[in-house]
Amino acid sequence: MGDQAKLSAGDQTADFAVLKGSVGPDVVDIRKLYADTGMFTFDPGFTSTASCESALTYIDGEEGVLLHRGYPIGQLAESSSFMEVSYLLLNGELPSQQEMTDFNYTISRHTMVHEQLLQFYKGFRRDAHPMAVMCGVVGALSAFYHDSTDISDPEHRRISSHRLIAKMPTIAAAAYKFAIGQPFLYPDNSLSYTGNFLRMTFGVPAEEYELHPAVERAMDRIFILHADHEQNASTSTVRLAGSSGANPFACIAAGIACLWGPAHGGANEAALNMLREIGTPDKIPHYIERAKDKDDPFRLMGFGHRVYKNYDPRATVMQSTVREVLDALKVDDPLFETALQLEEIALNDDYFAEKKLFPNVDFYSGIILSAIGFPTTMFTVLFALARTVGWVAQWNEMISDPGQKIGRPRQLYTGPVQRDYVPLEKR
């Protein structure tokens, strides 16, 4: 018999199995708690709840460790590519050279979208937030690809997964082009996944687009850093939507909507806007005090994390990538100095130290993306583009789980107990 956990409440006691993963905290299996005790657990925000079993990504928040299928994020960011990490997340192992060639070929054959889908953009205002466009256009994909929405068919799941990964760069680039009034560019499959995206975004029909190798490498690394992250809010949204049997296109659209929030994927846009508001390092102390003031809703965007109570390993890579890109582009962005000093001051402040608030993946990314030429409104779109492979891999893992069932949490009800209706004339 493995470890057991005992719950005693009033005159009741109940025993529960303790389950062990390959690494990380054990879990108490409470699936029969309600049946045995008539009680629920109560965990708003799921601070102590494991919602599923997964073999994709492991995070040790205390140590600042992030592994994808066992491989440390720092090694993947240094030595891998976004397409290789995508293959790893989807298939569980690093690809052989032939497997990598085949995967690149497969993805490149799905980069175009149905011509009618491009009509959707015309329905938006030019000043629509690109994330609003992404929610609409990605949600509409299921209206075009009926031949891959049967989630019980592994071949449908495979094709729809590849379609989503392959089409996100085309859809994201079109959202940017629409916003700035430039024509859409079709994919060029002679380029890498990331190079293709950069050309569709910044290229114009009037001339050849010259890819900057350092920019292509930095963009690819940023995609790697955003690929997957365990059961974060948007991934949990995708899993919950998928648990009802919704098609994968609709599930990913739900994930995009959740990612948009400033507490989650919207933080990269909010972090750069915050750095611009702070401006020069002499203003930092004022904003640090605001962040500590309970009566002030201001938070240091790009700081803090539900899981990391140490430095987010992705922020470490991101910070070194800032220098690479600014040097390569010969850009001198004073906001980088402001960000470095803000980090330094915050990490030496008791408030941030006690609450274990460190820079997260969103703190430095905006400086790089801005240097490359993206407007802040595109930052979360780029996060969604990269996270699509994680959402798709997590969705596939859930659908393939024989024990999978619809997610349906309960509640602690605090409303009125039963009472009788009173006719209007008697009120």
Contacts with ligand SDX, residue ranges (CB under 6 A): 229, 232, 263-265, 267, 291, 299-307, 355, 357, 360-362
Q: How far apart are the first and last CA of the chain?
A: 62
Compute the least distance from the CB of residue 50 to ligand SDX, in Å: 14
Closest to 383 measured CA to CA, from 257, 298, 250: 257
Comparison of 169 and 265: residue with beta carbon closer to ligand SDX? 265
**Do residues 383 and 259 touch, judged by C-beta distance below 8 A?**
yes
Where b means 16+ CB within 10 Å and e means fewer, 318-348 reads bbebbeebbeebeeebebbebbeebbeebee
Residue 168 CB coordination number (10 Å): 27
Compute the least distance from the CB of residue 155 to ligand SDX, in Å: 29
d(CA 378, CA 369): 9
Give me the helices (H) in 204-265, please: 213-225, 233-243, 248-259
Comparison of 173 and 300: residue with beta carbon closer to ligand SDX? 300
Compute the least distance from the CB of residue 89 to ligand SDX, in Å: 13
Compute the least distance from the CB of residue 112 to ligand SDX, in Å: 29
d(CA 309, CA 378): 28
d(CA 242, CA 248): 7
**Do residues 182 and 204 touch, judged by C-beta distance below 8 A?**
yes
Nearest-CB residue to ligand SDX?
304
**Do residues 313 and 64 touch, judged by C-beta distance below 8 A?**
yes
- Out of 220, 228, 312, 362, the active site residue is 362
390 DSSP 8-state letter:
H
Comparison of 165 and 274: residue with beta carbon closer to ligand SDX? 274
**Do residues 171 and 138 touch, judged by C-beta distance below 8 A?**
yes
Compute the least distance from the CB of residue 239 to ligand SDX, in Å: 13
Comparison of 68 and 305: residue with beta carbon closer to ligand SDX? 305
Comparison of 158 and 264: residue with beta carbon closer to ligand SDX? 264
User: How is 291-360 classified by DSSP, letter by letter?
Assistant: HH-TT-----TTB--SS-SS--HHHHHHHHHHHHHHHHTT---HHHHHHHHHHHHHHTSHHHHHTT--B-
Comparison of 117 and 381: residue with beta carbon closer to ligand SDX? 381
Count how many Cα atoms sit within 13 Å of the Cα of residue 61 in the half-sphere of its side chain.
15
d(CA 265, CA 360): 11
Compute the least distance from the CB of residue 277 to ligand SDX, in Å: 14
Per the annotation, the verdict on 226 as an active-site residue is no
Joined tokens for residue 226? 């955003």
d(CA 262, CA 374): 18
Comparison of 316 and 360: residue with beta carbon closer to ligand SDX? 360
d(CA 242, CA 396): 9
Comparison of 18 and 263: residue with beta carbon closer to ligand SDX? 263
Compute the least distance from the CB of residue 232 to ligand SDX, in Å: 3
- Out of 68, 129, 229, 305, the active site residue is 305
Phi, psi of 4 (to 5 degrees): -125, 150
Q: Which amino acid is located at 159 in the chain?
A: I
Compute the least distance from the CB of residue 121 to ligand SDX, in Å: 27
Q: Which amino acid is located at 376 in the chain?
A: T
| Active-site amino acid positions | 305, 362
